[in-house]
Amino acid sequence: MKKKTLNRNTRKNFATYGLVIAAYAVLQTMTVTGSITSSLKGMLVPICAYVVMAVSLNLTVGVLGELSLGHAGFMSVGAFTGVTAAMALQNAIPSPALRLLIGMAVGAVFAAVAGVLIGIPVLRLKGDYLAIVTLAFGEIIKSIINNLYVGVDENGLQLSLLTNKLALAEGGKIIINGPMGITTIEKISTFTAGFLLVMLTLFIVFNLVNSRSGRAIMAIRDNRIAAESVGVNIVKYRLMAFVTSAAMAGAAGTLFAMNYSTIIANKFDFNTSILVLVFVVLGGLGNMLGSIIAAAALTILPEALRQFADYRMLIYAIVLILVMLITNNPVLKGYLDIIKGKLTGRAKKPAGPTPEGGAENGK
């Protein structure tokens, strides 16, 4: 039984890698040949960032089984620290790709630190109480960054909180300007960087899930007491999943921020956390491929609806509700089963691995 599941999982993981590579190849070809619309081209990097956000949140919600409503907070930490690092190193490192890489690494590290600091208290709680505390931390991060002033001059970085008390030397520049955020970002994110980050994220998540630690994490999700009684270190494994998830969100934040010339703390609010959660739930808990598709589809959807002008967001809301109703409707599920049977007929067996198991009631 176990062996079979593993095989299926491996097969599915390769399918996921394959799909991402294929999508990249197609889109990159379109970009090079100039047959892509500006609209779609402009969305490639944010889609990559949202995919990484969705996959990393799926690690918390789907694999670890805890509802997090503050994932955008980690994205925010990553965005602001990563961009600050990249901007501070502007003169020292001329290569934009290297600066982006360092930025993402710095973003990931800071987000991971935030993940540890938040995870230790948060993971003592359960269910909706845990969810609200993650929401609270997300709001606190937003509030703090909104009141943070960071500047750089030849003496290094300077920080100040609440009001702008920076005394920058001649030639120094302000990087984070409180609520106005960062306004002079050099746009160095590229689709290729986004693609590589998505691949790295998938690699990390798949390897974690299929490792000893991953099985421990899922055991805790499915039955915490049973897991504890067989000697699984609950705190360690829960924190491991949470912090990994936070670090990837941080890297995604840097990638996202470096794609725009400006970024503000209010961008990473409760609504952004919810948006990413929608990707995860729509794509299926524990289903990374689903998260990828949902993140891409729901990022494109509002843009594809532009022709409806004023009714755009209303239609978006209706689509969201209908998708939830349809995918959970027992009658329609029957039809979907038939379609699925036809689609996967050659495989004879339903190819649906269900790594989520008890995740659905483990919110």
Partner 1 sequence: MTFLNYLLSGISLGSIYAIIALGYTMVYGIAKMLNFAHGDVIMVGAYICFFAVSRFALPPLVGVLAAMAVCTVLGILVERLAYKPLRAAPSLAVLITAIGVSYFLQNGAQLLWTPNPKVFSSVVGTGRLALFGGQLTVSYVTITTIVSCIVIMVALTLFTGNTKMGKAMRACSEDKGAAQLMGINVNSTISVTFAIGSGLAAIAGVLLCSAYPNLVPTTGSMPGIKAFTAAVFGGIGSIPGAFLGGLLLGVIEIFAKAYISTQLSDAVVFAVLIVVLLVKPTGLLGKQIREKV
Partner 2 sequence: MKHTTMKKMIALALATIMLVALCACGGGSSEPEAGASAEAFKLGGTGPLTGGAAIYGNAAKNGAQIAVDEINAMGGIQFELKYEDDAHDAEKAVNAYNALKDWGMQLSLGSVTSAPANATSAEGFADRIFSLTPSASAPTVIEGKDNMFQMCFLDYPTQGGASAQYISDMQLGEKIGIIWKNDEDYSTGLRNSFVDKAEELGLTIVAESTFTEDNNDFSVQLTEMQNAGADLVFLPMYYQPASLIFAQANAMGYAPKWFGVDGMDGILTMEGFDPTLAEGVMLLTPFNADSTDEATQAFVAKYQELYNEIPNQFAADAYDCIYAYKQALEAAGATPDMSAEELNDLMIQQFTSMTFDGLTGTGMTWDATGAVSKSAHGMVIQDGAYVGLD
* Binding flags for partner 2, 20-49, as an x/- string (CB under 8 A): -----------------xxxxxxx--x---
Distance CA 17, CA 99 (A): 26
Distance CA 338, CA 91 (A): 60
Measured in degrees and rounded to the nearest 5, phi and psi for residue 161 equal -115, 150
CA distances in angstroms from 128 to 55, 83, 144, 238, listed in the order given = 21, 33, 24, 17
Q: Which residues in the 217-276 window bind partner 1 by CB under 8 A?
A: 224-226, 270, 274
Q: Which residues in the 321-360 window bind partner 1 by CB under 8 A?
A: 321, 324-325, 327-330, 360
- Residue in 55, 64, 67, 240 binding partner 1, rule: CB under 8 A: 67
Contact call for residues 72 and 50 (beta carbons, < 8 A): no
CB of 162 to partner 1, least distance (A): 6
Distance CA 289, CA 294 (A): 9
Q: Contact between 327 and partner 2 (CB under 8 A)?
A: yes
Q: Contact between 267 and partner 2 (CB under 8 A)?
A: yes
184 binds, among partner 2, partner 1, none (CB under 5 to 8 A by kind): partner 2
Contact call for residues 277 and 70 (beta carbons, < 8 A): no
* Binding flags for partner 2, 272-301, as an x/- string (CB under 8 A): ----------xxxxxx-xx--xx-xx--xx
Report DSSP state, residue 61.
I
Write out the E strands in 162-304.
173-177
CB of 314 to partner 1, least distance (A): 4
- Residue in 316, 336, 340, 354 binding partner 1, rule: CB under 8 A: 316
CA distances in angstroms from 206 to 117, 211, 242, listed in the order given = 25, 8, 15
CB of 128 to partner 1, least distance (A): 6
- Name which of 277, 240, 236 is nearest 72 in CA terms: 277
- Residue in 310, 330, 347, 348 binding partner 2, rule: CB under 8 A: 310
Q: Contact between 17 and partner 2 (CB under 8 A)?
A: no
The amino acid present at 65, given as its one-letter code, is: G
* Binding flags for partner 1, 132-171, as an x/- string (CB under 8 A): xx-xxx-xx--xx-xx--------------x---------
Measured in degrees and rounded to the nearest 5, phi and psi for residue 75 equal -60, -40
Residues that bind partner 1 (CB under 8 A): 61, 67, 121, 124-126, 128-129, 132-133, 135-137, 139-140, 143-144, 146-147, 162, 224-226, 270, 274, 277-278, 281-282, 285, 310-311, 313-314, 316-318, 320-321, 324-325, 327-330, 360-361, 363
